[in-house]
Structure 1
Amino acid sequence: MLLGKKVLRITAAVAVAAAAAHTAERLKAPAVEQSVLVSAARLATSDASPDPSTESAVPQSASLSSPVEKRVGDLTGITPVAATTPPAGGDRCRPELQLSTQPGAMIRLSLAAPCNRGERFIVRHAGLAFSARTQADGFATVTLPALRADALVAVYLQDSRLVLGKIAVPDVSAYSRFAIVWELPADLDLRVTDGTKVLVGSGTSASDGDQGVIALGSTEVQSPVLARVYSVRSQTLGDADITGELRITPASCGRTLRVDTVYSSGGIATTADQAISVPLCGTAGDILVLKNLAPAPKLAAPK
């Protein structure tokens, strides 16, 4: 019996020693392991963040899929923005546009573009378009027929600047107008026959104030845009025969050219575009007559 008691005492001592040894080894565990255990416990019971030494090499702020505290919103796209620095003292190159009404439902356009001296610009209004040039001081003045009662006029400069102006022209309701617009290499003219009158483009105003063909556009610029406008003081165009005359040249023969047309009545304008098939080369110098321009041209044989 004494032997049995000794065995029990020895076994108990061994167990106590083993437990003590295990506890000692547990206390001597590496600091990293302890920090991992502590961090996991804290994350489960609090809102504390993990120790930086155990985080991924990619921070949360660089991950679009990870929730980030105080987010400003999900990324939906990237828009490049060009950085610009406004010049000291303001924009000295800012163009200015002034519009005024003239008799006969005409619009007088005055442009001041100090940094666009002697340069081409384009005027657009209700489908009408034509080119012009600024003077050596950057100023320009042109006159154009109104096609709408609420006339919006746009000026396009060479440095991608756009200048807009708007003016009311109530007198336009008393006129009917038909315009044709083209670019090179087309070489066009508008001819109107009304009874004994034969009208062609001349100047920038109607010949007698009530009826005429207005020529618009400068040919002394690069890539000119030209226009002709038939204007009559009437609610309709009447019985006038309106035709276009296209001169066939080596630059235009055998090509399909585009012309734009605008019809204005009662201060309301409608636009259309026409495709003109020019005969093959070999007929240079002839004239192609474009009939029934509104609503669609019919081509006659060259004369």
Structure 2
Amino acid sequence: MNTLLYTALALIAFAGNSILCRLALGEQSIDAASFTIIRLGSGILMLMVIMPLTAMGKTQSLRDSTAKGSWKASLMLFLYAVCFSYAYISLETGVGALILFGAVQITIILIGIHAGNKLHALEWAGVFIAFGGFIYLVLPGLATPSLWGFVLMLIAGIAWGLYTLAGKSSQNPLADTAFNFLRTAPFVVVLGIITLSSAHITVQGIILAVLSGAVASGLGYTIWYMALKGITALQAAVLQLLVPVIAAAGGILFADETLTLRLILSGIAILGGILLVILGRQVVNRKGASDGLSRSDRHQIDRTH
């Protein structure tokens, strides 16, 4: 139940983040670099404030905490944030989502296969069904992407896939996320120096960037690392295909948007695909346990005879 709750909250945060980014950048309330800087900076402040207030913070200070994230994860976090912001300047929402989540899926699946975690028939079927439902959802917004936007969003997707995989080994999600954000500070400073002359900031843009960084990113990514402890990497990859569906549902609930047949059908396909991925791994695990038991029984019989 904890894993289910954490996963649901993280996916809602991702959907909120997507909406906040589109509102800020789509309406040109702020430039991409300033949005990224404020987003990561507010994430750092939020996590540094709340971490000492937790149970971990009462027993370990920031200085001698054993969970400190990694420079690799921090670089992936920064690459994802900055490339995501710049990519949406030249990409439609549907195209950007397709490239981003496609890159996440491929990155996690390929790394898993390289590590020896082969996908079985039900898992492959689930991946294709879920991704097919996702493509069907974003299909009306698809257009030929700009090369620059495509490359940037591809990098963002790969970086996010690697950041997700880094969270699989996290024993203290809050501390690891906090230090991952903190380590992006040097990259943020360099980005600020390079783009200072072209900065464009409004009050609305600042508010959207702070909400994106402090809440949807800082807290959302912490919850995501908490959820990763209870799901496989493949399940994490496929589950993220629900983000556009959740964002669309939010539009229906809070922006008086229309519930369409396309959203219903794509949601069913994505949920069905996710279910197949989850059940496929459980079937494989049960079969493996059964085979192991059978081998043990046979060995015991051989020893008896």
TM-score range (shorter-chain normalised) is under 0.3
TM-score (norm 2): 0.20
Higher strand proportion: 1
The higher relative CO (CA closer than 8 Å, separation ≥ 6) is in 2
